[in-house]
Amino acid sequence: MRNFEDDPTLSDLLTPDQIRRLDGALSGLCREPVAISENRTEDAVPVEFNLETVGWLSGGASAGERKAAAELVSFLMLFVAKYRLAANIHHDTTEASYAELQRQNEALKASEAKYRELSDQLQQKVDEQVAVIRQTQQELYESARLRSVGHLAAGVAHEINNPVGFISSNLRVARDYVKNLEPLLPETTENRELLEDFNDLLSESIEGTDRIADIVADLKTFSSIDQADNALCDLNSLLRSAIHLIQTEYNHSLSIAESLAELPRIPGHPSRLSQTLFNLLDNAAQAVGDNGRILVRTLTDNTGIQVIIQDNGCGIPDKVRSQVFDAFFTTRPVGSGTGLGLTVARDSVRAHGGQLTLDSQEGAGTRVVLSLPVQQGS
């Protein structure tokens, strides 16, 4: 492309029509016709414009006539060229400005896209933070509930422990006394039956107090009142306590089979693990209803422990399964639970560096596998 400042040629300045018209007008002024051309002919004089020869003027009656005509054309050329220059630079700058505008527009679009992306990222971050806050709130609520239940259990256990202790030992002493009384009483049928009855009464009562003592022990294990927040946990004993408690809650109506392997102790939060196991058992218990079976197994290899709780209950519908870990979600009728069981269980397991997996078939049952590492990362 030519620059606006390039020296113009004759055809840049005038169209052939205009040249013809100019020739005509000039010829009218001269005694002989004259003609302007880009090519030099004999006797032609240069038509100069801005130190540049833009054309040649030939014809005319004399050299003087040619010179005057050429001078007139040069003079006209100044104004034509002025216009041409102005038009050219206007065109150039308009194009440059437009290009610049387009470039700015592109840059603007790019930065707009960048900001949109940034705002999306920000929204995502906010969502993540909201989830974290919601989760923390949930955990706080859960742990507060757990703590208060734990405190209550601990208090009750403590209060019951002493009286149960002395009732139990008194009953045993009483049984001994009954034995001592036996030879001293006259040997009658009535007396013998009385003593046998008395003995049975005492034995049943001793059995009863033993059961009370067991429940108290389970409660203590469950609420972990004797243990620090972070301790070496015996998962089997936590599991047994949880099974006892769930049986108590379901009036010993559940059929729970245990198959517990010997496990290494793992570091962890006993009360959280207890709560987790209880929740999983509770889910299973609700799923099986009155006449299902629950199988509880523990396994270990070098790297970790697995607790498997399997039931042959109602199972979880496909469309619900992906949601079962969502807080507040429950497949059970409103009122029968908060739906937090699985979420809390999963979160506790994660806090222990482990994993909770769920394998369920509607109508066939559910298998929950809780894996915990033996050696925890942190």
Partner 1 sequence: MPDFSPEDNKLALKVVFYGPALSGKTTNLMQLHSLLNPERKGELMVLETRDDRTLFFDMLPIGLRSGSGLDLRLKLYTVPGQVQHDSTRKAVLSRADGVVFVADSQVAQQDNNAIAFGNLEDNLDKVGLDIDTLPMVVQFNKRDLPSVVEEAELQSRWAGTPWAPLAMASALQGKGVIETFRALLDRLYTVINAEFDLAGKHDIDRATFIGRLSASHGVGDA
> Per CB under 8 A, does 50 bind partner 1?
yes
Rule CB under 8 A: which of 53-82 touch partner 1?
78, 81-82
As separate numbers, helices (DSSP H) first and strands (DSSP E) second, the chain gives 8, 10
Rule CB under 8 A: which of 82-101 touch partner 1?
82, 85-86, 89-90, 92-93, 96-97, 100
Q: How far is the CB of 91 from partner 1 (least distance, A)?
A: 10
Q: Which two tokens stand for residue 373?
A: 């590492």
Closer CB to partner 1, 97 or 248, in the complex? 97
Q: How far is the CB of 77 from partner 1 (least distance, A)?
A: 9
Rule CB under 8 A: which of 149-178 touch partner 1?
none
C-alpha span between 268 and 273 (Å, rounded): 8
Q: How far is the CB of 78 from partner 1 (least distance, A)?
A: 5
Q: How far is the CB of 378 from partner 1 (least distance, A)?
A: 57
Which range touches partner 1 (CB under 8 A), out of 46-54, 165-173, 310-318, 338-346? Answer: 46-54
Number of Cβ within 10 Å of residue 345's Cβ equals 24
Q: How far is the CB of 112 from partner 1 (least distance, A)?
A: 25
DSSP category for residue 8: P
Closer CB to partner 1, 83 or 141, in the complex? 83
Query: Strand pairing partners for 45?
Result: 57
Closer CB to partner 1, 78 or 130, in the complex? 78
C-alpha span between 64 and 121 (Å, rounded): 84
Burial of 207: CB neighbours in 10 Å, binned 0-12, 13-18, 19+ = exposed
Among 51, 184, 228, 334, binds partner 1 (CB under 8 A): 51
Q: Which two tokens stand for residue 103?
A: 């470039």
Which range touches partner 1 (CB under 8 A), out of 48-56, 110-118, 128-136, 196-204? Answer: 48-56
DSSP E strand stretches across the chain: 34-37, 45-49, 52-59, 231-233, 255-260, 266-268, 293-300, 304-311, 355-361, 365-373
Residue 349: name the closest of 318, 329, 370 by CA: 370
Query: For residue 355, which phi and psi values (nearest 5 degrees)?
Result: -145, 145
Q: Under rule CB under 8 A, how many of the chain's residues touch partner 1?
A: 18
Binding site for partner 1 (CB under 8 A): 3-5, 49-51, 78, 81-82, 85-86, 89-90, 92-93, 96-97, 100
